[in-house]
Structure 1
């Protein structure tokens, strides 16, 4: 299974679902040396810690941040692996990136506000500056493209055809539950495997707004992201139509009810904690830039398997990754048991 984890698209929540699935079944993750697979460089097989070109072991899941490079991914993952990713409305991706990466992207740091940047991006943006990819066409870049490239129809259409061929499914953040239902069917998982709590999210009051004129200019600035998003938005709804409207509504309701029941069982309060200091350090999310990331407080009376499940469901990405790395390092090297996804290709 190959999940291309894109930035600011609800991908951390998908990652937690994959972590829990693989962790519970002792599957082999292709993990990084630190916290990403060589990003922002194009992915190379050598970015996987312990990668062995003799293929003495087989990886089941690769899902940490990388910049997509299909030939190198194919060196690591078995043939017929299931490839999927997630996209989001580019306006929302950019707004979130401006907040989250404000301190590491010079273009963002120099701009007085998101509104000022959107009105005149060339005033603050330098194409070859470090981390410039965070400030333009970020999803296009994550998928292996040139974030400063021209949106020429022939080049764009060629890239989109390649991505269509590479990915079995593309999820949409705005229709997250519908996306998980489609993913569940494609992987032949149970709906329970898809239950989740939203991770790495900000409070609604922290979301920045734009004037209509700035929003129009921002869409022109991120034109490649918009071409990408519109293309896969259309294919997504074809998948939904094939699934069936009534069936989709039924399964989405079931998934939401499962998440509500788990929330009632696990969480103190109805959702993310307003006071981040109330969350123990070992499960507290890390904030970045001007973004204040929300987290959850578990009920104090949880015990046994229930506490274990609830804890894993709210673990921030870096905390869970550290656990998986520790588990990997404590495992005696041996040939991985062959595990195959049951995949529906209909």
Structure 2
């Protein structure tokens, strides 16, 4: 067989090189458009880390006890260190001071979570908590909070005790209310008081106080939209969904709560508690701006999942599937404190025959705030801790 001539071989090699150059040139021409159409995938953001340094300002009659339960459970399961009161409150109604925290020493190791009743004082809280702490709280429409406070604090607020009924009180509150009388902070602008804001604020002083709340508190929950609040809280804290599934605590039995306030009574309560109303309306707007940024459809989906999870836990854990009167709860570790007066606080009893792991989990979900505080106290300070006297009203 005759081999190709050298000249032919050189021609073929040249043609091949020409094809390669043509293909390379075409790729260069097309590379730009393809890059513009299919940009490189951006790197995935790193996963967020759960917040474990938490300041919760627990306000009165707003649903705060339910939030405290999930904080107790989250902190206990992760071995976090709680800033605990010597008894059950941090010297309330006096303004919070760092020395009210059990085990506090100036310059000592900061705590991880503080969540029990106080009258807020930022400077003193900062002595106890790390600089990166997440501050949050909860508020409620004074149009309904006022009725709850009247029922719960009737025995300790002179203004309420002197009035024969809520209707009589609202008809002429000045007749019963004496500023400065011990216990009367429960009778007017209770939330404003708990936030440690100036008691006689008006005009620009109110605006300044509201701005200070916004600067300090990264999130303020709404009692009327509790489930939406828990979803936004979970997102802000980068917590797992199970961490915010909680039963309602320190609530009244439906049959003992009495009739709801009328629209006219709600309007009078808002007018009487004008500073609370200013605080609530301001924080309500902030809350819904945050919800809008989160996404309405996403919020609805996560609320539905939260409710399904909570309902499943109730069926799994609770005798009767829900709250019971205190007299029906034989286990003193689960029986809620009953304040003096007419308010009847509901609690939970566990189903019998639960496997040990479920029994432990269910018990923590059902444990009232005061008993849970004692559990944490004993864990941090030993077996003799946690027997402080129960306050007359919390």
TM-score by length of 2: 0.81
Within the candidate set 48, 57, 75, 1:22 is matched to 75
Q: Aligned pairs, how many?
A: 328
Within the candidate set 99, 110, 130, 1:58 is matched to 110
Within the candidate set 147, 158, 183, 1:131 is matched to 183
The offset of 1:145, in angstroms, is 1.9
**Aligned residue in 2 for 1:48:** 101
Higher relative contact order (CA 8 A, sep 6+): 1
**Aligned residue in 1 for 2:209:** 159
Q: In structure 2, what is the Cα distance between the partners aligned to 1:295 and 1:217? A: 31
**Aligned residue in 2 for 1:87:** 139
The offset of 1:261, in angstroms, is 1.0
Q: In structure 1, what is the Cα distance between the partners aligned to 2:196 and 2:258? A: 28
Q: In structure 1, what is the Cα distance between the partners aligned to 2:61 and 2:136? A: 16
The offset of 1:218, in angstroms, is 2.2
Contact 1:12 1:317 in 2 (8 A): yes
Q: Which runs of 5 or more residues in structure 2 are unaligned?
A: 1-53, 384-394
Larger radius of gyration: 2
Contact 1:279 1:296 in 2 (8 A): no
Q: Which runs of 5 or more residues in structure 1 are unaligned?
A: 332-346
Within the candidate set 361, 376, 379, 1:327 is matched to 379
Q: In structure 1, what is the Cα distance between the partners aligned to 2:55 and 2:317? A: 30
4+ long deviations beyond 2 Å: 207-218, 274-279
Contact 1:108 1:124 in 2 (8 A): yes
Alpha-carbon RMSD: 1.4
- The 3 A distance-change label for structure 1 pair 279 and 92 is farther
1:201-260 CA deviation, whole Å, 9 max, x = no partner? 112232344455443332211000000000000000001000001111111111111101
Q: In structure 1, what is the Cα distance between the partners aligned to 2:241 and 2:181? A: 44
Contact 1:119 1:214 in 2 (8 A): no
- The 3 A distance-change label for structure 1 pair 275 and 23 is closer
TM-score by length of 1: 0.92
- The 3 A distance-change label for structure 1 pair 216 and 61 is same
- The 3 A distance-change label for structure 1 pair 251 and 136 is same
